[in-house]
Structure 1
Amino acid sequence: MKRNLKLMFVLLSFSFVIQSQTRIEVRAAKAYKQKNYTEAIEKYNAISTEKQLTSKQLLNLANSYYKIRDYNNAAKGYMSCISNGNTLSLRLPAYNNYLQSLKLSNSDEDSITSVINTISSILSQEVTKRYDFIKEERTKENPFSKTITSYEIKNLDINSKKSDFGVAILPDSTVMFSSSREDKSYNYIYKKIKQPFINIYKAKLKNDNSIDTLTLDKYTKSSMMHTSSPFYDSLYNRFFYTQSHKEKNKLKFKNSKSNFRIVFGFLDANKQLKKVNYYPEKTDGYSYGHPFFDKKTKRLYFTSDMPGGFGGTDIYYILMNKEGFISDPVNLGEKVNSFANEMFPSTFDNRLYFSSDLFIGKGGLDVYSSGIKNNKFEYPLRLNDSINSSADDFDYKIVPQQDQDKQKKRGYISSNRKGGKGSDDIYSFTEYKKIKQVKVSGFILQKIIDSIKIQKTSITIPKATITISKKEGKIIDTIASNKQGKYSIELPIGSDYVFKVDKKGYDGTLDTVNLTNKDDLTPVSKDFHLIKIGPITFEYDDTTITEPAKKLLKLVTDYLKKYPEDKVKLESHADARGRTAYNDTLSIKRAESVKEYLKSEKVNSDRIEIKGFGEQEIKNDCIDGVKCSDKDHKENRKTYFIFIPNDLK
């Protein structure tokens, strides 16, 4: 009898253990289904101490770690699934989570590439093209752009320790944004995920695009619902936002997912909806959110996990006029959507901006831009690394400005990147597009010219004045050569520049630096030679070519004969004695006299330009009213020669 009782006790104990273990498994599965990921992790780990987890349990555990952003353990969990023979149930979203976990836990590139190669055979053609397109944009050697994009990004003072994201701006500078900031006076805590409900708040926008914290107020009424992603339609004065669905004062779930839909209506004077509308009118067990109305195309873009998509959440649009919807929803297609999650659409200047957690990004949600041509969407590009981090970067919106500068764009982005104030923070950004610059440098050297020969030398000329201008004449900068005769300047590519080099005692020179077709940033080396000719001097109130002047003009004609394609510019001056108008005419006559002399020496007139400055550029102190010797006045009665190479004609 005792033996039978003992055996019965052992069997009952074993049965109790089996039943207890079964209850833990049920609790683990229930916690996972209800999104209580912390409890699910606790229960699955407890089960693993007694026996090996099933393939489904391993996957649930890995997904739970991923959901709470413990990416190190998530990556280990997905690896355990694969090691256990479960190839993540051949579900691409699970592989996507695995790849994201590897990236976000700073795994090496080879490990990530190895996983990508593993799933390459089951990727769709469009996803493969997107991956290759992003990879090519990063690695191809010569996609040279003449502009460079940079960003100034600021974390806003309005951010809290909780989640703050999504900005909408109204015409009176009211700012609406989403936040889960905790305030027990009107905020409820959603206990299953230990997060406060999300509500919409309002404040005033400052002139510098920051948000005034002193004007902060709650917009949505207290409720057991999430309310987020506000958007203002400036065309019809409508307001949109996303709201969760509830029944009997509890959030409505289907297939372990909370359901959302879009709320919208016209605004009254108090910024309240005159009549509340919903899209869809009746909840269908799926989610619809992140509304953005493009007033140019009359498209309401939104995010949904409705059936018929490519997996995860997809981006759709539906045509909409003032009265309401006038089409069925249209999926943006596989160039934009994938088996991962695409969300937070916005448009600006014929481009779609959105976020995606597809494995081709840096990690988490990344912001992409897709061109819209003929109502079709191009393969998306990933935005600048200043916009995209290894964390979640989303809700990128460019704010139209009254006088939109094409080289500057302003807007807002939300991110949970390092260095923020809370879970998600709102950042303002200013995007600058600058033309790339290249270094142009060289030496100012002496060129000796006499009646026998023209000789370039290595003798440098310090403190020469270099005036750089566009070919149409706009002066860009004026610099000087240093003590060693060297100059250096950074110039924007995409234009040709005229360099005019002058130095007292030398005749100036003009030459070009061609950067119009420059397709790299290799520094440009360019030397300039100043010629030792002239200027010639005239007697007082006279235009006659003197004998000393003829000797110098012989050098000029020799030079022009040696370089038959070049031109010469004659710049003539007068001293300050006499009337200004008379001196203007006198200087022109002196230039014409030199021109006639050169023509007599067989120099074609179309190679000679003249300009008279009168007394506009006195070289010393001998201006009107100042008594000077004739020798001093003589310094101002000169004609200078500027030689113009053939490519500047």
Structure 2
Amino acid sequence: MKSYLLVVSLLCLSKVFGQSMSEGEKMFNNYEYQRAYSIYKSLYATEEFQTEDLKRFAYSSFVIGEFQTSYNLLPRLLESENIEPYFSYMKGEVCMHLKKYGEAKQAYLNYQQLDDEYNVSVKIQSCDLINSWTDQEHIEVKNLDRNDSKADFCGVKTPYGRIEYHEEGVDSSGNEITKERIDYSELVVLKPFITDSNGVLHRLMIDEKFKYGSISSIAIHAATGIAYLTISEPISADLFKLAPHIYTGTWDSENYSILSITPWVNGGFSDSTACAHLSISENGKYMAFSKMQNDQSDIFTSQFNDNLWSVATPLTAVNTSLNEMYPLFLGDTMLSFSSDGRPGYGNLDVYTYNLTSQAINHLKSPVNGPMDDFNFIYESADSALFVSNRFGGKGDDDAYEIVFRRFIPEPVVEPDSSDYFAFFENWVDQKIYFDFDKFNLKRDVKIIDELVVLLAKYPTVSINLEAHADKRGEVGYNDVLSQKRAETVQSELEKLGISKSQITIQAKGEKEPIVDCVKCSDEIYAANRVVIITLKK
């Protein structure tokens, strides 16, 4: 009887287990990865997980940000026969999130030998560089209050207020879904809003024909009163309209509306390309936008002359063989953009580009991270806004504000005759001597205390370190030796609290000796192994 009951119990348990595994697969196939993960996690203690179940469990964990779980599953999965190359790629991504950069590099290298669907060359470079990067100094990173469970984008400031974008839901009849029920809406589209000078948020009104359009960027050309906007139509039967394109319309600042919307000449209509993420410089002379063709996104620019925009051309100094997108002008000559074609923390990273010098700067963590980071724009002198789909946010894409730690210099004290002028009048250049072929300080060397006090009190005062070597040895060697002697003195001065900005260096080598000679004595050689500290107003 006991044996019979045991068999019945095991059969029932097996049936329940099978049903649960089936439910997990159903959730997975419906893209409900959080629910699939919960089911698989509750069942993993058993030994009945097959390879396909492991794949679904590992992928669900990865998608919802349970990276440690995914990391623990992948070794067993990667030992399976005929496992897809994607899981080697996924291990690289998981390890990037866990900051296991050595393992990430090896996983990407393994994937590179198996498949080429994903270009991982830049990711491999990133694994070698990332530990050398220093985080951006900051006070805090804030998830903005207006974010909800869907996508929320920050946009540019205009003379009429800051533009921002929030996803809204509609049902099959076109009725708007309330925020409380947005997670149950049949369609979600991005809509534009503007915050006026009083902080009031206004919905921007668009032509009725674009009622179901998703609008991801707007720029207003102040000189002409024309608005440029990116629109895609996700419920259109026309495949061309499913992709974003750039349109123009008439801007009505009183009613916060854009009407009479028509296709823009550079908006991707003539060559059937997707165009989005447009931005106009503050002076109205330049426009930048991203253009996708052949499964690759590049940044294009156009110039405004004689009341017309020029033919858009690729920004070759910025574009790579991968993707560059989300350009935003920061004034007239600086542009922020996002790229996955340069070394970075993960997927899309934010960079800035100076149109004058063509210098490109990679922003460091916490602006950038392992996910997508974009739409970076300064909010004030010491803060900026950006968008990220990083884990831990409120929704799919959230807008964030970063407050930078800004250096505030001490007020400059004006010199007074009691110490400042007297010190200069009595100053005698200080000389620090070195042993032959050495650049370390002698034990008896002492920097005079009054010099340190004066430089700390008067930041406009500086010193020059003129470094010399005797003429024994090669000329090039002596140049380097004198440079090292100057740097040694500089380091000692910095330890005493003198700012590096107050110190200049001149390495003379054996040229311009303090004491010139043909047949030099040891005393003359010693006199030429010196760093001279000169005071400058």
Give yes or no for TM over 0.5: yes
Q: 1:410 to 1:190 in 2, by over 3 A?
A: closer
Q: Are 1:293 and 2:280 an aligned pair?
A: yes
Q: Counterpart in 1 of 2:217?
A: 229
Name 1:425's counterpart in structure 2.
399
Q: Distance in 2 between matches of 1:467 and 1:292?
A: 50
Which letter does structure 2 place at the counterpart of 1:218? R
Equivalent residue for 2:100, pick from 88, 102, 108: 108
Residue segments in structure 2 that go unaligned for 5+ positions in a row: 1-18, 171-175, 410-422, 429-443, 466-482, 497-513, 516-531
Quote the Cα distance in structure 2 between the aligned partners of 1:99 and 1:459. 54
Tell me the secondary structure at the aligned position of residue 326 of structure 2. strand
Q: Do the aligned residues in 2 keep the contact of 1:346 with 1:354 (CA within 8 Å)?
A: yes
Residues in 2 aligned to 1:24 and 1:185: alpha-carbon distance in whole angstroms? 29
Question: Could you say which residue in structure 1 is the equivalent of 2:503?
Answer: none
Pair 1:130–1:459, CA change in 2 (3 A): closer
Q: Secondary structure at the match of 1:522?
A: helix
Aligned with 1:393 (options 373, 392, 395): 373
Q: 1:242 to 1:335 in 2, by over 3 A?
A: closer
1:371 Cα offset (Å): 5.5
**1:175 counterpart SS class:** strand
Query: Counterpart in 1 of 2:142?
Result: 155
| 1:301 CA displacement | 1.6
Could you say if the C-alpha distance between residues 112 and 434 of structure 1 is closer, same or farther in structure 2, counting changes exceeding 3 Å? farther
- Provide Cα deviations, 1:239-284, integer angstroms capped at 9, x if missing partner: 3443331436xx9889xx9643334334134342242134334996
- Aligned equivalents of 2:277, 2:182: Cα separation in 1: 21
> What's the TM-score once normalised by structure 2's chain length?
0.55
Cα separation, partners in 2 of 1:24 and 1:315, compared to 1, 3 Å: farther
Label 1:526 to 1:386 Cα distance change in 2 as closer, same or farther (>3 A). closer
Question: 2:258 aligns to what SS in structure 1?
Answer: coil
Given the superposition, is the C-alpha separation of residues 66 and 139 from structure 1 closer, same or farther in structure 2, using an over 3 Å criterion? Answer: closer
- CA distances 1:99-141 after superposition (whole Å, capped 9, x unpaired): 333222x1523311211332456779x974786489458649x
Secondary structure at the counterpart of residue 364 of structure 2: coil
Shift of 1:307: 2.0
2:198 equivalent to 1:198? no
Among 227, 235, 241, the alignment partner of 1:239 is: 227
Supply the distance in 2 between the matched residues of 1:283 and 1:39 (Cα, whole angstroms). Answer: 43
SS class of match (1:116): helix
Report the equivalent of 1:412. Answer: 385
Distance 1:411 1:327 in 2: 32
Give the 3 Å change call, closer, same or farther, for CA 466–647 of structure 1 in structure 2: closer
Q: More helix per residue: 1 or 2?
A: 2
Residue 265 of structure 1 aligns with which residue?
249
- Deviation of 1:396 after TM superposition, in Å, equals 0.7
Q: Is 1:497 the counterpart of 2:463 in the alignment?
A: yes
Q: Deviations over 1:278-319 (max 9, x none)?
A: 4334996x7542222356774432253x3253xxxx233153
Q: Is the 8 A contact 1:181 1:196 kept in 2?
A: yes
Residues 526 and 390 of structure 1: CA distance in aligned 2, closer, same or farther (over 3 Å): closer
Contact 1:396-1:412 within 8 A present in 2 as well: yes
Letter in 1 for 2:245: R
Report deviation, 1:216: 1.8
Task: Give, as a single letter, the amino acid of the residue that structure 2 aligns with 1:103.
Answer: M
Percent identical residues: 15
User: Which aligned pairs between 1:614-625 and structure 2 lie closer than 5 A?
Assistant: none
The aligned residue for residue 320 of structure 2 is 336
- Alignment partners' CA distance in 1, 2:186 and 2:73: 23
Match of 1:307 among 270, 284, 294: 294
Q: Is the 8 A contact 1:31 1:39 kept in 2?
A: no
User: For residues 67 and 179 of structure 2, what CA distance do their matches in structure 1 show?
Assistant: 30
> In structure 1, how many angstroms separate the alpha carbons of the residues matched to 2:185 and 2:232?
15
Alpha-carbon contact 1:166-1:230 (below 8 Å) kept: no
Residue number in structure 2 paired with 1:6? none
CA distance in 1, matches of 2:26, 2:392: 37
Aligned 8 A contact 1:167 1:177 in 2:
yes
1:85–1:185 CA distance, 2 compared to 1 (3 A) = closer
SS at match of 2:457: strand
Q: Residues 426 and 521 from structure 1, CA distance in 2 versus in 1: closer, same or farther, beyond 3 angstroms?
A: farther
Contact 1:220 1:227 in 2 (8 A): no
CA deviation string 1:573-619 (max 9, x = no partner): xxxxxxxxxxxxxxxxxxxxxxxxxxxxxxxxxxxxxxxxxxxxxxx
Structure whose CA Rg is larger: 1
Change (3 A) 1:75 1:297: farther
> What's the RMSD between the two structures over aligned residues?
6.0
The answer for the alignment partner of 2:7 in structure 1 is none
Q: Is 1:252–1:259's contact at 8 Å kept on the other side of the alignment?
A: no
Match of residue 6 from structure 2: none
Letter in structure 2 aligned against 1:384 = K
CA distance in 2, matches of 1:38, 1:460: 65
Residues 347 and 459 from structure 1, CA distance in 2 versus in 1: closer, same or farther, beyond 3 angstroms?
Answer: closer
How many angstroms does 1:520 deviate by? 11
Is 1:524 aligned to 2:473, yes or no? no
Q: Distance in 2 between matches of 1:233 and 1:185?
A: 33
Alignment-mate amino acid for residue 200 of structure 1? P
Q: Secondary structure at the match of 2:374?
A: strand
Could you tell me how far apart the structure 1 residues matched to 2:89 and 2:450 are? 63
State the shift of 1:185 in Å. 6.5
Name the counterpart of 1:383. 363
Cα separation, 1, equivalents of 2:214 and 2:489: 51
Q: 1:193 to 1:139 in 2, by over 3 A?
A: farther
The reply on whether 1:219 has 2:204 as its aligned counterpart is yes
| 1:383 partner letter | L
Contact 1:25 / 1:43 at 8 angstroms: preserved in 2?
yes
Give me the whole-angstrom Cα distance separating, in 1, the residues matched to 2:69 and 2:279. Answer: 36
Specify which of 361, 375, 383 is matched with residue 344 of structure 2: 361
TM normalised by structure 1 equals 0.48
Query: Structure 1 78/335 Cα, relative in aligned 2: closer, same or farther at 3 Å?
Result: farther
CA-to-partner distance for each residue in 1:6-46, whole Å, 9 max, x for gaps?
Answer: xxxxxxxxxxxxxx9xx9999789745xxx65688799999
CA–CA separation in structure 1 for the residues paired with 2:83 and 2:179: 43
The separation in 2 between residues aligned to 1:465 and 1:316, in whole angstroms, is 52
Partner of 1:346: 328
Whether the aligned pair in 1 keeps the contact of 2:289 and 2:325 (CA below 8 Å) is no
CA distance in 2, matches of 1:521, 1:386: 33
The whole-number CA distance in structure 1 between the counterparts of 2:495 and 2:317 is 52
- Alignment-mate amino acid for residue 327 of structure 1: V
Residues in 1 aligned to 2:463 and 2:231: alpha-carbon distance in whole angstroms? 58
Query: What is the CA–CA distance in structure 1 between the aligned matches of 2:385 and 2:344, rounded to whole Å?
Result: 20
- Distance of 1:458 and 1:519 partners within structure 2: 12
**Structure 1 pair 300–108 and aligned structure 2 pair: CA distance change class (3 A):** closer
Partner AA of 1:522 in structure 2: S
Q: For residues 337 and 233 of structure 1, do their structure 2 counterparts lie closer, same or farther at Cα, with a shift above 3 Å needed?
A: farther
Which residue is equivalent to 2:163? 176
User: What is the identity, as a one-letter code, of the residue corresponding to 1:343?
Assistant: M
Secondary structure of 1:113 counterpart: helix
Q: CA deviation at 1:164?
A: 2.6
SS at match of 2:102: helix
Provide the C-alpha distance between the structure 2 equivalents of 1:346 and 1:520, rounded to a whole number of angstroms. Answer: 45
User: Which residue pairs with 2:438 in the alignment?
Assistant: none
Matched letter for residue 401 of structure 2: Y
Please tell me whether the aligned partners of residues 96 and 359 of structure 1 are also in contact (alpha carbons under 8 angstroms): no
Aligned pairs for 1:504-519 within 5 A? none
Q: What is the CA-CA distance between 1:394 and the residue it aligns to?
A: 1.9
The alpha-carbon distance between structure 1 residues 25 and 164, as it changes in their structure 2 partners (threshold 3 A), is: closer
Local SS of the residue matching 2:260: coil
User: 2:159 is aligned with what amino acid?
Assistant: P
- Given residue 307 of structure 1, which amino acid in structure 2 is its aligned partner? N
Q: Separation in 1 of the partners of 2:41 and 2:449?
A: 78
Report how many residues are paired: 417
